Structure 1
Amino acid sequence: MAPKILFVLTSHNKLGNVDKPTGWYLPELAHPYHILHNKAEITVASPKGGESPLDPSSVEAAKDDVSVNFLKNNESVWKNTQKLDQFVGRAKDFDAIFYVGGHGPMFDLVDNPTSQQLIREFWEADKIVSAVCHAPAVFYDAKLSDGSLLVAGKEVTAFTNVEEEQAGLTDAVPFLPEDALQKASGGKFVKAAEPWGEKVAISGRLITGQNPASATAVGEALAKALGI
């Protein structure tokens, strides 16, 4: 039986108070999907269901073959998402949950009660919980049934303060993922030696990737953890 993975995309398409569109970031879905879709059964969900907004800047930035081919051939993946609340209470039906990055999740998934419940249910059902780039921010305040923070004492990574600064979007986000996760994890935030370098943090069943360059490695880490 192929393992089942729930991919979570944002439904948010506007970047804070900046008059710019946002959404999910192309390579951060394209690369893990490319690695996993032939070996696992992937279900895609978003808070509102239906079409999940693709960040147009990521289409301009991502010219690699995997991203280009995904964009051309896999529209149905992000245009027909299921509603996230349909998956509450169904962690037993899956083997992993994976949050795709982009700035969108910072606005509609971070404090989303449904998302937080899913994270708790997946973790407490001994499933893999993972995210890349901005999406690990959804874990910063995720609490387990005993009230403890999911990331407390666990090594974790996400888009860094320097990367946000270099992207010129520090003021556009509600908070910085690095700061929030550094605090919530108790100082266990890790990052690549250089900004935009590849970095994946694996802490038991928690798998996080730093940035777009880490999307392939996150997909590979998921595959390895799932034994596929």
Structure 2
Amino acid sequence: MKKVLIVETNVTRYAGTHDATGLWLGESTEFAEELQKVGVEVDYVSPKGGFVPLDPRSMKYVDESIMEFYETPDFKTRALSKTLSPSEVNPDDYFAIYYAGGHGVMWDFPDDKELQSIAMAIYQQNGYVTSVCHGIAGLLNIKDESDHYLIAGKLSPDSRRVKKC
């Protein structure tokens, strides 16, 4: 059975500052938990692989459900300390890619060619390319083989809802 790939940031600080940033915790845990409740497996990837920092601002918005998922050995290991690197991902294993948010993504998602290639491959297999909040930065520069942006023309008339890419 195919899985969902969750993309997380490796950025620890806002560019040019000493201010900490990183993954918005709930935007990864809540999504992963809902998928696992219905039997869908997830993997975690980040642009560099390995360690994923948490945006400290996100911690004041956690609830009991987020904390319980955060504290699981699986999440602590696979989502925060040993994420896959893009070179370790086979797009054929996934039916969706989900770009989690957090302010750090603004620096490492938009220009990551390997993640763009993975997302495009999943899309070309009739898969889903999705994001939440700042995670949309990962969708901005994905282009098809004709050099057209994947998200071009995907906004609905009310500009608040996005169609399936």
Task: Tell me the TM-score normalized by structure 2.
Answer: 0.88
CA distance in structure 2 between the partners assigned to 1:127 and 1:104 by the alignment: 26
Q: Alpha carbon RMSD of aligned pairs, Å?
A: 1.8
Is 1:37 the counterpart of 2:36? The answer is yes
Q: Which runs of 5+ in 2 are unaligned?
A: none
Q: Given the alignment of the two structures, is residue 92 of structure 1 paired with residue 92 of structure 2, yes or no?
A: yes
Tell me the equivalent position of 1:132.
132
Structure 1 contact 154–188 (Cα < 8 Å) conserved: no
Deviations 1:158-189 (A, max 9, x none): xxxxxxxxxxxxxxxxxxxxxxxxxxxxx874
Shift of the alpha carbon at 1:55?
A: 1.0
Higher RCO, 1 vs 2 (CA within 8 Å, ≥6 residues apart): 2
Q: What are the ranges of 5 or more consecutive residues in structure 1 without an aligned counterpart?
A: 157-186, 191-200, 207-228
Q: What amino acid is the match of 1:112?
A: D
Please give the alpha-carbon distance, in whole angstroms, between the structure 2 residues aligned to 1:143 and 1:37: 30
Q: Give, as a single letter, the amino acid of the residue that structure 1 aligns with 2:126.
A: D
Deviations 1:10-48 (A, max 9, x none): 111111223211111011011101101241111111112
Report how many aligned residue pairs link the two structures: 161
Q: Which residue is equivalent to 1:81? A: 83
1:72 Cα deviation from its structure 2 partner: 2.2
Counterpart CA distance in 1 for 2:43 and 2:142 is 22
Instruction: Name the aligned partner's letter for residue 111 of structure 1.
Output: D
1:118 aligns with 2:118: yes
Where 2:20 maps in the other structure, the secondary structure is: coil
Runs of 4+ in 1 over 6 A off after TM superposition: none
Secondary structure in 2 matching 1:37: helix
Contact 2:3 2:41 in 1 (8 A): yes
Q: Tell me the distance in 1 between the aligned counterparts of 2:87 and 2:30.
A: 26
- Out of 72-81 and 27-36, give the one that drifted further: 72-81
Is 1:58 the equivalent of 2:58? yes
Question: 2:144 corresponds to which letter in structure 1?
Answer: L
Identity of aligned residues (%): 29
Matched with 1:23 is: 22
1:104-163 alpha-carbon deviations (Å, 9 max, x no partner) = 11101111111121122111121111111101122112111111110111027xxxxxxx
Preserved CA contact (<8 Å) 2:26 2:62 = no
SS at 1:6 equivalent: strand
Matches within 5 A, 1:145-224: 145-155=145-155, 189-190=159-160, 201-204=161-164, 206=165
Matches of 1:40 and 1:84 in 2, distance apart? 21
Partner of 1:181: none
- In structure 2, relative to structure 1, the CA distance for the partners of 1:188 and 1:17 (3 Å cut) is farther
TM-score with structure 1 setting the length:
0.65
Cα distance change of structure 1 residues 92 and 188 upon mapping to structure 2, 3 Å threshold: farther
Offset at residue 202 of structure 1 (A): 4.3
Deviations 1:45-102 (A, max 9, x none): 111211211111211x223122121222231232221112222xx3222111111110
1:41 and 1:63 mapped to 2: Cα distance?
Answer: 23
For 2:148, what is the secondary structure of its paired residue? coil
